[in-house]
Amino acid sequence: LDDDGVSDIPRRLRNFDIDIFEQDPRQLANFPNITGNLCYHQTSSASNETYLYNCTAPVVGRYVRLIV
């Protein structure tokens, strides 16, 4: 995630999950109520800077979804 350093979005961005999917989840019948492979869970607020989130365990997939 990258911030422009001007907005307060990073401060408000907390308690989110990063899910990874092998297929485009929008094409699946039960979208948006589908759960992907959890890559990362963030609880605290961020500050105004660029973040590189690494999955806590190896996850294979092409599609990324940020759930706030």
Model pTM?
A: 0.76
Domain ranges for the chain, please list them. 9-67
Mean confidence (pLDDT) of the chain: 84
SS3 string, 18-64, reads: EEEECCCHHHCCCCCCCCCEEEEEECCCCCCCCCCCCCCCCCCCCEE
Of the ranges 4-8, 35-39, 53-57, which one carries the lowest mean pLDDT score? 4-8
CB atoms within 10 A of CB 3: 17
Dist CA 12 CA 19 (whole Å): 20
Mean pLDDT for the stretch of residues 41-67: 87
Identify the residue whose tokens are 């995630």. 1
The CA-CA-CA angle for residues 50, 54, 55, to 5°, reads 145
